[in-house]
Amino acid sequence: MIQSESGLESGMLSIQSNIVKLPEPRLDSSISVEQALLDRRSMRSYKNQPLTIAEVGQLLWAAQGITEKSRGFRTAPSAGATFPFEVYLIAGNVTGLSAGIYQYDYHHHRLMLRREGDFRAKLSESALGQSSITNGAINIVLAGIYKRTTQRYGDRGIRYVHIEAGHIAQNVFLQAVALGLGSVPIGAFNDNKVQKALDLPKNEIPLYILPVGKIHQK
């Protein structure tokens, strides 16, 4: 059930390469930045409806998409262009995409499957049982690799990594508004438990969980 670069098999999406090419992001919208800022609100309850792969791709692009190919610069600023973040998609309810943990490959705007299965409940358990994580069709997890930034800036790099998490998250929130979706920042969780639940490499520290889902009509 996974859409793959390696081709389609009789209409079914192939799982062979564990790579999922994402649709090209849209670069326009009918909603202004000002309206998105006005409308953004933390939402913790969502409809039990799937997101599309286009919506997922758009949210990931907003998080860390490449916007200047020659230098690899992205949608969010980064101290000294050290880019300390890896971005994970915890997919639960996405049309045409198997539930699983995927890493966003920003260089190629595609997903790399890391583990199959629905990890939302496990992730929620690692975050005081917060229901927004299980309700959300997806969760985006920002994992920081401090060394990328501290090797250039020393201890001050720690501050820069945390600031950068905010930039990335706000991009996701505003993009969610533009797509008519709801989201919430989740900072209350046990780092070790999240790292274990998602089987993250030791040097990748989870700093933010961003559930996203379809919202109930206002």
Ligand X SMILES: Cc1cc2nc3c(=O)[nH]c(=O)nc-3n(C[C@H](O)[C@H](O)[C@H](O)COP(=O)(O)O)c2cc1C
Binding site for ligand X (CB under 6 A): 41-42, 44, 130, 184-188
**Shorter beta-carbon distance to ligand X: residue 66 or 158:** 158
Cβ within 8 Å of residue 213, ≥6 positions away: 43, 46, 47, 49, 51, 135, 136, 137, 138, 181, 182, 183
Burial class of residue 129 (count of CB atoms within 10 Å of its CB; 0-12, 13-18, 19+): exposed
Q: What is the spatial distance between Cα 180 and Cα 49, in angstroms, rounded to a whole number? A: 13
Q: What is the spatial distance between Cα 23 and Cα 102, in angstroms, rounded to a whole number? A: 16
**Shorter beta-carbon distance to ligand X: residue 52 or 190:** 190
**Shorter beta-carbon distance to ligand X: residue 89 or 186:** 186
**Shorter beta-carbon distance to ligand X: residue 41 or 115:** 41
Q: What is the spatial distance between Cα 61 and Cα 23, in angstroms, rounded to a whole number? A: 10
Smallest gap from residue 186 Cβ to ligand X (A): 4
**Shorter beta-carbon distance to ligand X: residue 42 or 95:** 42
CA angle 153, 140, 163 (to 5 degrees): 25
Smallest gap from residue 8 Cβ to ligand X (A): 40
- Name the residue whose CB lies closest to ligand X: 187
Smallest gap from residue 118 Cβ to ligand X (A): 21
Smallest gap from residue 48 Cβ to ligand X (A): 19
Smallest gap from residue 163 Cβ to ligand X (A): 12
